[in-house]
A and B are shown apart, each in its own frame.
With several copies, the nearest count.
Chain A
Amino acid sequence: ETTFSGQLSADMIYRYSRHLLLPSFGVEAQANLLKSSVLVIGAGGLGAPALLYLAACGVGRVGIVDHDVVELNNLHRQMTIKFGQLNTWTMYNSYGFATHTAKCLLQIIHTEAYIGRSKVESAAAACRAINSSVQIVEHKEAFRTSNALEIMRKYDIVVDATDNVPSRYMINDCCVVLGKPLISGAALGLEGQLTVYNYNGGPCYRCLFPTPPPTTACQRCADSGVLGVVPGIIGCLQALEAIKVASAVGEPLSGRMLLLDALSARIRVVKIRGRSLQCEACGENATLTEQKFRDFDYEKFTQSPLSTSPLKLDL
């Protein structure tokens, strides 16, 4: 342990002393955290709490990617809703069966003062206010095949906090190409899911989902609601898994998946399949390369747009 004595300054010892007092999380783990870097893709409902806790715990460098601006919510400003209509729409929506997009009103990192400004700026300011000693890197752009490798290469661990199907395949493939562990969280309505992909021989996203879901599953449901605290819980759990991977402490949620049902307060951790030999990204005969990744059309593959446009109600 004394070999790390050079890496924690007196200020750092003071700041992280609560961690250092943990029997199972000592000086070495905190030193690992301080040396590590985490890229959070998406600064919305999942990304906001994940970013706050990653900054607070003392990850050395935290990158934030998002192209969006802070809005009071994502509904079209000009809409007018009357209650009868809203209820009708709610009914409709419950049959609309959304599976792919759920932006979150309650992105706790973004204060009203930042409405209209970049989400990355807003998130970075919040992180710096909590812990000025962490290096925060702002990537104010959409994460696309053209910039993904270049951005992700500089980080050790990736947190997928996005909200659409093509981004999830793209981020997975980029992690496989670059060999980065991927902390994947998702939330919709009152449910949430969490797992760690591409970690230590475990499965990747494509091992579980080789084929994208049918677009009929998402066609008439440009948006669905979400209770903000649900992505809050999943985002915190993503931070926890990233901290465990970064500090090399504990057993990350690889080969297992956490399923949260908020309404019934049921949480289960289930065992999922291992790495698939047939996987087109990470399998035995996979031929995924940086060049192939750059050329792959994820919107075409999933038949869904990378950037989810705000719901426009036509009542």
Chain B
Amino acid sequence: MQLTLEFGGGLELLCNSVKIHQVNVGTQAEGMKQLTMKHLLSWVRTNLIKERPEMFMKGDTVRPGVLVLINDCDWELSGQLETVLEEKDVVVFISTLHGG
């Protein structure tokens, strides 16, 4: 499944400072019928996060202070970890900023 993943607010530093990733996340090999955010998070952790994964995840979800947006909508509105992704979805992971 073709997805666009974006990292911001400093999270890009965990992926070699690259903010936008065009990725192809397989579902067939794993025998999944659907790709959920839960699967995507574990895929990201394995395939994109190059260092300090604890800065990205805590348990099986994102760490506190990280907003997840699916097609520009907070994932709270679509079911968080259970959200089923569709072809060409854009998923943004952004760390909230506190500076001023």
Contact = CB atoms under 8 A, between A and B. Distances in A.
Contacts of B76: 272-273
B37 interface: no
Contacts of B13: 23, 94-95, 97
Interface in B21-50: none
Given A94-B17, A208-B67, A212-B64, A217 B55 contact: yes
A127 interface: no
A180 interface: no
Chain A: interface size category: 35 or more
A16 to B, nearest CB: 17
A187 interface: yes
A102 B72 contact: no
Nearest to A189: B10
A273 B74 contact: yes
Contact of A102 (B77, B96, B99): B99
Interface stretch (A4-12, A77-85, A159-167, A282-290): A159-167
Contact of B100 (A45, A213, A272): A45
A154 interface: no
B64 A259 contact: no
Contacts of B69: 270
A193 B97 CA distance: 7
A2 interface: no
Interface in B57-100: 58, 63-65, 67, 69, 72-74, 76-77, 92, 94-100
Given A217-B55, A271-B74, A224 B65 contact: no
Given A97-B55, A268-B72, A191 B97 contact: yes
Given A97-B55, A270-B69, A163 B100 contact: yes
B17 to A, nearest CB: 7
Contact of A272 (B10, B52, B64, B74): B74
Of residues B63, B94, B97, B99, which shows the largest number of chain A Cβ atoms within 10 Å of its Cβ? B99
B100 A104 contact: yes
Nearest to B54: A216
B74 A188 contact: no
Contacts of A42: 100
B26 to A, nearest CB: 28
A47 interface: yes
Nearest 4 Cβ contacts at the A-B interface: A102-B99, A213-B65, A211-B64, A188-B99
